[in-house]
Amino acid sequence: MSRLAYYRVSTADQSIEAQRRAMGGKFDKEFKDEGVSGSTVAAHRKGFAKLLDFVREGDTVCVYAVDRLGRDAIDVQTTVRRLLDQGVTVDVHGLGSIGRGVGELILGVLAQIADMERQRIFERCEAGRGAAREALKLTGKTHRGKVSLGRPAAQDAATVLAWKTANKASIGNTAAQFRIGTTTVKRYMAAATGSTKARVHLMV
């Protein structure tokens, strides 16, 4: 019988360490999905799919929160029932082991609450973006005083790429040097490659 941990973070810039520390970190095997949106069905996530292939009767699957088990309330309940049918215990941090009957009911309610909160967050974000666009159109600045929508660049792309080239550095080392995520470095590189191809096309 094994204790298995599953972690998920939505972006590659985030770390699973906070979840690992909160859950105790003493597991026989760990599975993770980094840079995977919560809107992805659990069984379609590479890390979670590996867990489903590995887990056996008598094992315990531990997660940090209910929303790690699925994209919405229905997916969460489907995932939990699948595991319970295999004789697997599901343990949610702060909630404990989920059993059939009342346990499934409580989990379903919590998953539904999580869905509602995600929808409220989405609606608040959309309302904020709408206000920002309207203010930008009327005054040249958003309602928060910014001159454009979106967040400012983490670093100057040209500076980052010049340093990477000069030092023959890896993506990871470059990200560490400028305290940005590896995804950001890759985005800078892709943008630079695209610009180069465009210039060559124009010359031809």
Give the start-to-end residue ranges of the domains of the chain: 3-111, 157-203
Q: Give the pLDDT band (50/70/90) at residue 107.
A: low
User: What is the C-alpha separation between 32 and 14, in angstroms, rounded?
Assistant: 12
Mean of pLDDT values over 186-198: 72
Share of the chain above pLDDT 70, in %: 74
Q: What top-level class would CATH report for the domain 3-111?
A: alpha beta
Given strand 96-98, what is the order of strands in its sheet?
29-34, 3-9, 60-63, 89-92, 96-98
Checking DSSP bridges between strand 29-34 and strand 3-9, what pairing results, if any?
parallel
- 118 or 166: which carries more pLDDT confidence? 166
Active site residues per annotation: 10
Which residues in 24-163 belong to E strands, given as ranges?
Answer: 29-34, 60-63, 89-92, 96-98
Strand-strand pairing, 89-92 and 96-98: antiparallel
Q: Of 69, 70, 72, whose CA–CA distance to 92 is shortest?
A: 69
Lowest average pLDDT, out of 36-40, 41-45, 199-203, goes to 199-203
pLDDT-derived band at 203 (thresholds 50, 70, 90) equals: very low
Residues 6+ apart with CB under 8 A from 89: 59, 60, 61, 97, 98
Q: For position 204, what pLDDT does the model report?
A: 42
Q: What does the pLDDT read at residue 102?
A: 54
Q: How confident is the model at residue 51 (pLDDT cuts 50, 70, 90)?
A: very high
| Alpha carbon distance 17, 157 (integer Å) | 28
pLDDT greater than 90 at residue 7: yes
pLDDT higher at 53 or 148 = 53
pLDDT at 157: 84
* Burial class, 66, CB count within 10 angstroms (exposed 0-12 / middle 13-18 / buried 19+): buried
Which pLDDT tens digit goes with each residue over 113-156? 666 666 666 677 777 777 777 777 777 776 666 655 555 556 77
pLDDT band (50, 70, 90) for residue 65: confident
SS3 content of the chain, % helix, strand, coil (to 5): 55, 10, 30
pTM given for the model: 0.56
How do residues 74-89 score in pLDDT, each as one tens digit? 888 888 889 988 999 9
Q: Over the chain, what is the mean pLDDT?
A: 80
